[in-house]
């Protein structure tokens, strides 16, 4: 990622140290992948971290959105490690921090224990709390509805609807709901609450309120990463992220469509 | 006047999405500017060419190139700037109107809206692809990799 390796004169002392280096690289890769980094960046970081100590002659990594494989060679002995990543939650700050950490680790004689400690610390950082994120996300949706030509009352109701959706989604995240299910629940809520806001006289244009409210769930991250992965030759990751984008979009469309269908045609047609 | 309004709203909207994705605090305003410029390009180009597809393509390319430039300048991963900037361009409205047309049994309109939505998604993908490719090939030429 554009950082030059100055001199590679940092050595590892023994086999135990190499094992720890492998663990450190695995931890770094895991944090990045779970925060929604592109797979080529994960592979690159893991490889650089492994090769930063001079005795390691060969190191290679293969990452997909659901797991990482790492192998390295130390004094004619092969070591391998496999990490399974289950849930991805976009956290751009952690990607940035791990990126900075790896640049620092590669270009210095930082001890491996200290590195692992630092990574564990990065893994716990949440720069914005849950409420801050929800409020800013709902403001984003509300301003987006203004972009689509909404009036002030649409801004208010779009904000309220999105705030409820984001709170519910981050609440059910604890139960490890699959992303498609939480998107479906969010979209259903968006449609129900938008209809409700029209009934209560809070909003004016139902289309604009719904469009604004579903913007916090659209698969923009998946589309971006799918294309960037495909471009760097990670076809498996590109395909799986593309499928993720399609299924998320379908879940949202289905959720909204179901509610609107009932609203327009009644439960019993 | 209208364009100033669009600029302001898209800036604030992008900032909101950026915080939702936990962007580093020193990059908030930069990602907001990226998203606002992307949206303005979308607004002008889609009015000029009378096509949201062309507009999305140019907008995504703008966001991608700006993201790569900022990434180079501030030594941060490019996705930090690209992801919040892309979100306003994602055709959520198109998907919604497709669904609405399907519910009203207007299949011709649904096909029209649906293909437009798909092509907008394709245009965004192409825009990101082109900017990524440009940045990679420039790096390759510069550092002789």
Answer whether B99's CB lies under 8 Å from A256's CB.
yes
Residue of A3 and A224 predicted with greater confidence: A224
A139 pLDDT more than 90 = yes
- Domains, chain A, with CATH or none: 15-122 (3.30.1300), 130-265 (no CATH)
The per-residue pLDDT for A142 is: 93
Instruction: Print the domain residue range for B96.
Output: 2-143
A256 touches chain B (CB under 8 A): yes
Tell me how many residue pairs between chain A and chain B have CB atoms under 8 A apart: 168
Please report the ipTM that was assigned to this predicted complex. Answer: 0.89
The percentage of residues in chain A with a pLDDT greater than 90, rounded to a whole number, is: 46
CA distances from A81 to A63, A72, B136 (A): 12, 9, 30
Tell me the two tokens of residue A2: 């554009």
Q: What angle do CA A183, A186, A190 make, to 5 degrees?
A: 135
pLDDT, tens digit, 9 for 90 and up, residues B129-142: 899 888 888 877 87
Q: Average of pLDDT values for B22-38? A: 93
Distance in angstroms (rounded) separating the CA atoms of residues A265 and B82: 41
Q: Per-residue pLDDT tens for B72-83?
A: 899 899 989 999
Least confident of A10-24, A164-178, B91-105, B120-134: A10-24
Beta strands in chain A (DSSP E): 56-64, 67-74, 77-84
Domain total for chain B? 1
Out of A80-89, B33-42, B43-52, least confident range: A80-89
Q: Could you identify the residue written with the tokens 């604030």?
A: B12
Report pLDDT for A264: 85
Residue scoring higher pLDDT (A117 or A14):
A117
Nearest to B13 among A143, A256, A260 (CB): A143
Inspect the interface and report whether the beta carbons of B15 and A224 lie closer than 8 Å.
Answer: no
CB atoms within 10 A of CB B59: 29
SS3 A73: strand
Q: Which of A63, A60, A59 is nearest to A85 (CA)?
A: A63
Alpha-carbon span B65 to B79, nearest angstrom: 11
- Chain B: nearest CA to A114, how far in angstroms? 23
State whether residue B3 sits within 8 Å of chain A by CB. no
**Looking at the complex, does the CB of residue A249 fall below 8 Å from at least one CB of chain B?**
yes
Tokens of A258: 């179901």
Is B9 within 8 Å of chain A by CB?
yes
Residues of A with Cβ-Cβ distance to B99 under 8 angstroms: 253, 256-257, 260
Interior/surface letters A62-71, b for 16+ CB within 10 angstroms, e for the rest: bbbbeebbbb
Say yes or no for a CB contact (<8 Å) between A264 and B121.
no
User: H or E stretch including B8?
Assistant: helix B2-20
By C-alpha distance, the chain A residue nearest B27 is A93
User: Rounded to the nearest 10 degrees, how much is the dihedral formed by the CA atoms of B19, B5, B123, B119?
Assistant: 110
**Rounded distance, CA B143 to CA B145, Å?**
6
Cβ neighbors of B120 (< 8 A, separation 6 or more) are B52, B53, B56, B89, B91, B94
pLDDT value of position A223: 86
Average pLDDT for B108-134: 91
Name the band, by pLDDT with cuts 50, 70 and 90, for residue A157: very high
> 56-95 in B: which are within 8 Å (CB) of A?
72, 75-77, 79-80, 82-83, 86-90, 92-93, 95
Tell me the pLDDT band of B58, cut-offs 50, 70 and 90.
very high
State the pLDDT confidence band at A8, using cuts at 50, 70 and 90: low
* C-alpha distance from B104 to closest chain A C-alpha (Å): 9
Nearest CA-CA distance, residue A225 and chain B, Å: 8
CB B88 within 8 A of CB B17: yes
Mean pLDDT value of segment A59-70: 91
When pLDDT is cut at 50, 70 and 90, the band that residue A2 belongs to is very low
Q: Tokens representing A12?
A: 């590892």
* pLDDT tens digits, one per residue of A66-117: 899 999 988 888 889 999 988 788 899 999 999 999 999 988 888 888 999 9
pLDDT of residue A54: 77
Is residue A105 classed exposed, middle or buried when 0-12, 13-18 and 19+ CB atoms within 10 A define those classes? buried
Tell me the nearest-neighbour CA distance from A15 into chain B, angstroms. 33
């Amino acid at each position: 990622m554009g950082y030059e390796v100055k001199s590679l004169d940092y050595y590892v002392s023994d086999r135990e140290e190499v094992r720890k280096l492998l663990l450190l690289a695995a931890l770094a890769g895991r944090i990045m992948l779970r925060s929604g980094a592109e797979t080529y960046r994960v592979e690159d970081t893991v490889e650089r971290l492994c090769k930063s100590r001079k005795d390691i002659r060969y190191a290679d990594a293969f990452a997909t959105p659901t797991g990482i494989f790492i192998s390295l060679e130390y004094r004619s002995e092969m070591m391998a490690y496999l990490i399974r990543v289950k849930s991805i939650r976009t956290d751009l700050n952690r990607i940035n921090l791990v990126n900075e950490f790896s640049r620092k680790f590669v270009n210095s004689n930082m001890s491996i224990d200290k590195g692992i400690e630092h990574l564990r610390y990065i893994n716990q950082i949440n720069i914005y709390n849950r409420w801050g994120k929800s409020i800013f996300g709902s403001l984003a949706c509300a301003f987006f509805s203004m972009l689509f030509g909404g009036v002030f009352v649409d801004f208010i109701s779009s904000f309220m609807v999105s705030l409820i959706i984001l709170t519910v989604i981050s609440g059910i995240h604890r139960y490890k709901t699959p992303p498609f299910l939480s998107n479906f629940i969010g979209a259903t809520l968006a449609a129900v609450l938008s209809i409700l806001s029209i009934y209560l006289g809070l909003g004016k244009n139902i289309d604009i309120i719904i469009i604004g409210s579903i913007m916090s769930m659209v698969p923009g991250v998946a589309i971006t990463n799918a294309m960037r992965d495909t471009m760097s030759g990670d076809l498996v990751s590109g395909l799986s992220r593309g499928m993720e984008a399609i299924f998320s979009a379908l879940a949202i469309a289905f959720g909204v469509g179901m509610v609107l269908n009932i609203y327009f045609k009644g439960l019993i047609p | 006047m209208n364009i100033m309004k669009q600029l302001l709203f898209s800036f604030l909207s992008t900032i909101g999405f950026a915080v939702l994705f936990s962007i580093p605090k020193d990059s908030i305003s930069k990602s907001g500017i990226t998203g606002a410029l992307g949206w303005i390009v979308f607004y002008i180009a889609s009015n000029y060419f009378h096509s949201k597809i062309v507009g999305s393509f140019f907008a995504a390319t703008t966001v991608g190139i700006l993201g790569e430039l900022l990434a180079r300048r501030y030594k941060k991963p490019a996705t930090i700037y690209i992801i919040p900037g892309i979100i306003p361009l994602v055709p959520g409205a198109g998907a919604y109107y497709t669904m609405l047309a399907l519910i009203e049994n207007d299949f011709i309109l649904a096909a029209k809206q649906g293909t437009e939505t798909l092509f907008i998604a394709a245009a965004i993908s192409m825009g990101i692809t082109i900017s990524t490719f440009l940045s990679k090939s420039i790096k390759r030429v510069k550092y002789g990799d």
